[in-house]
Every structure is written in structure tokens, then in C-alpha cells.
Amino acid sequence: MDESLSEWLACREPADWKSRSAQLVERARQALGTPGTLRVLDLCTGTGSNLRYLLDRLPGRQQWIVVDRDVQLLDELLEKLNTWAAARGCTARTVGRVSYLRGERCDCDVETRAMDLDQLDAALFAGRNLVTASALLDLVSESWLKLLASRCRDVGATALFTLTYDGRSSCDPVEPEDDLVRNLMNVHQKTDKGLGGLAEGPDAWSVAERAFKDAGYRVECAASDWSIAPSEQAFQRLLIEGWARAACEIAPRKSDTVADWRQRRLAHLAAGRSRIVVNHVDMVAW
């Protein structure tokens, strides 16, 4: 596991939870009705932030399949899930790759699967009522998104996708190169991330919306923007460093310009005056 990825997921989780659209989660609840057991598929689950967010907000008994290609991230997910359960007075018993959560406030089985998702095996979707993912769609291709919509339609699943980056961000104080770095980062977002070819990046949410509508779904979208305060030092630092790396990979000849930008942005952060907004879109389809 790349330790920096685990750190990034931990840093962004509070902003993710704060930014998500509660209205669209409620829309998904309404669309799901009251199944005897709610069967959920969580794609590219990482350390399980999406799982932990939704466990308290979805109805009744739940049975999850959570998928990621990184086994160590999935191991961390199970550890975090045990902590989550204990905080709610529930027991968590793990057998193999399945965690069983039991108590007055939780009745849930969580099965972890380590696998690549470049092909979206139809068997993975069988019997699922809800298919969900967080911070994923901007990393995948148009063909992958169309296949995702088709897989959901084939099993009649509701879909809930959150925190899809839409290509917009702003920094305060403003620096002259902010637009340049953002534009280069947006180009980087459209490179191949290993999920079906060239990623759709900032266009992904609109491509996904169209794909699900073409598959016969009703779709609703809502903003889920990060608003990152000066006090969120570690999160902002990782964000600025990540943007700078992506920009330099796309335009090596502008590395000196990007390095100067990075230094000034980090100086604003150290002085306690840096605020960053990153725009995202949530989507529910039913």
C-alpha cells in the first residue's frame, strides 16, 4: 500500500462527510424502499469512508460487498470498521474477509474483496439493491461509465455516487498561477487511471448522468463542494502538493513556475490565511 494514499484518504474524510448531499442520500433511501436485507456494492472502497458514512443512514439489515484492488487498504478498512462498531456499542467479529456487526444500532455483514475493477464483472452486481462509490467517477473512462450504468440497470439497482470532481477550484489568497495549475491538473485528470482507458476527469459527472439517463434511470445531482479552512493544514498541504506534482507531470517545462506557485501557496498555509474550495457533484439514479 502507498502510505501517502492512506494518509490522503484519512485527511479528506472529514471534508467528504461534511460536503456530501444529505438530500441525495435521502432520495436513495426513498428509491430503495424497505427491502428485507439491503444489499450494497461499494466500488473502489479504499479504507471504507463511504461505507461508514452510509451505514448509519441506510435502513434496516445490510449486507455489503466492498471492493478495492489494494489488500492493505481493505485490512485498514476492517480495523476502522471495528472501531466504528465499538463506538456504537456493537460487536464486530471478522471471519476471513467478512466482518459481522451486531448490536442495537447495527446489523450488517461486510465482505471485502480485493480485485481490479477495469472490467466490472457482472457477477459482482448480482442481487445488489444499491451500487455506490465515492471520489471514483472522475478516474474512469466513458466506456466504463456506460458499462456501470448497464450493470446497474441489469439488476435494477439504485446508484449513488458522491464527490465527483467537476474541474473547478479556487484559492484565497489568489496567486497569478492558480488558473494555470488548475488547468494542468485537469488535463492530468484525463489521463489513463487504469479503469477502462482515458479518464473523463472533470467531465465524468455529466457523462455519468447521460449514461444513466440513456439506461432508463431518473437522475438527480447536487453540489458537494469542499470548503477547506486555514486550520486544516495537513489536508491543504497534501492537496497543494498533489496539484503541483500533477501539473509538473503534464508540463515539465513549467516546473519552475509551478514550484514558485507551490512555495507561495504553502507560505499562505503556514501563515494561517489559506482557504481552498474544490467543487464536486453528487449523483443519485433510480
Give residue 59's pLDDT.
84
pTM for this one? 0.96
Q: What's the whole-number mean pLDDT along residues 20-48? A: 96
Q: What is the 3-state secondary structure (H, E, C) of 55-88?
A: HCCCCCEEEEEEEECCHHHHHHHHHHHHHHHHHC
Pairing of strands 91-95, 98-103: antiparallel
Assign 3 a pLDDT band (cuts: 50, 70, 90).
low
Cell of 281: 457533484
Q: What's the whole-number mean pLDDT along residues 249-273? A: 98
Scan for cell 439493491, then name that residue: 129
- Alpha-carbon distance values, 53 to 44, 111, 162, 180, 237 (Å): 15, 17, 11, 35, 25
Give residue 35's pLDDT.
82
Give residue 87's pLDDT.
93
Q: Which has the higher per-residue pLDDT, 4 or 13?
A: 13
Inform me whether the pLDDT recorded for 91 exceeds 60: yes
Can you tell me the distance from the alpha carbon of 227 to that of 234, in angstroms, rounded to the nearest whole number? 14
Inform me whether the pLDDT recorded for 285 exceeds 90: yes
- CATH class (in words) of the domain with range 3-166+198-226+279-285: alpha beta
Q: What's the whole-number mean pLDDT along residues 25-43? A: 95
pLDDT tens track for 117-155: 988 999 999 999 999 999 999 999 999 999 999 999 999
Percentage of the chain exceeding pLDDT 70? 99
Give residue 155's pLDDT.
98
Inform me whether the pLDDT recorded for 1 exceeds 50: no
Q: What is the 3-state secondary structure (H, E, C) of 85-112?
A: HHHCCCEEEEECCEEEEEECCEEEEEEE
Give residue 72's pLDDT.
95
Percentage of the chain exceeding pLDDT 90? 93
pLDDT tens track for 175-224: 999 999 999 999 999 999 989 899 999 999 999 999 999 999 999 999 99
Bond from prior residue into 173 cis (ω within 30 degrees of 0): yes
